[in-house]
Amino acid sequence: MKLKLMNLWKNYKSLLYEVFPELYHHSTWAEWEGKGTSLTAKLYGTDKDWYINKSREVEIWNEKSCIYNTIIYPRTGENLPCFGMDLMGFFEKKVIIVFDFQHPIENCPFSVQGLPKAEQDYRFFEMGNHFSDNIYVRYCTFAEVDEHLDMFKKYLTVYRDMLESKKPSQNLMYKTYHDFDKYMRKLDPVGGYLSGKFGKEKSESLVNDFLFTYG
């Protein structure tokens, strides 16, 4: 069962690297085991002449749940969003799928024509403030997770097109990413959960030194 849950999001991960084959595994920041729960934290990069500065991913799983989180930070020097995904399988009947264009600039409305608009307001996801009108949030079961793959691919493809419409640049928006990561750190609810599994020191290190390093 544990192996099965570790693979809950395998088709999403495969699709991510199919659409962005330029991403390569740069380093593994953490591989932890604690209280029946496993965690991996990995950093991905691209050639310096390409459009992505970094992508960082965390996957947490045990016998009942599997959570996968990734944010892609662009390297364009332009006014473009990051791309974030939170794929959260808490137990068999409770799964939350979230992916979105997450603009690093505070209070910057962002919308893409031709993609679904958010169906309602969501806790933790404030549209118009780092989250777009197109934030995709769906609730399902373990057996239904792959039903959203086509939409996931559509969002990824739109994001790739968005990046390729600009020129890669080393003039990164570090101040902007600082504000973005600082906001996300305050918003992220994972710290308390991780502290209970791996201890406070490890949890704080993951949040500050890996998840939100710009902030």
Return the CATH number at 8: 3.40.1500.20
Does residue 177 surpass a pLDDT of 60? yes
Q: Catalytic residue, from 47, 49, 86, 181: name it.
A: 86
C-alpha span between 201 and 111 (Å, rounded) = 39
Spatial strand order in the sheet of 52-61: 24-34, 37-45, 52-61, 66-74, 82-91, 94-102, 136-140
Higher-confidence residue of 169 and 94: namely 94
Does residue 214 lie within any of the structural domains? no
> Domain of 149?
2-172
Q: Give the active site residue among 133, 146, 179, 188.
A: 188
* pTM score, whole prediction: 0.90
161 is catalytic: no
Q: What's the token pair of residue 99?
A: 């992916």
Q: Is residue 10 part of a domain?
A: yes
Does residue 121 have an active-site annotation? no
Region 94-119 average pLDDT: 89
**Residue 142: its pLDDT value, please?**
96
Q: Is residue 60 part of a domain?
A: yes
Average pLDDT over residues 98-121: 85
Give the total number of structural domains in the chain.
1
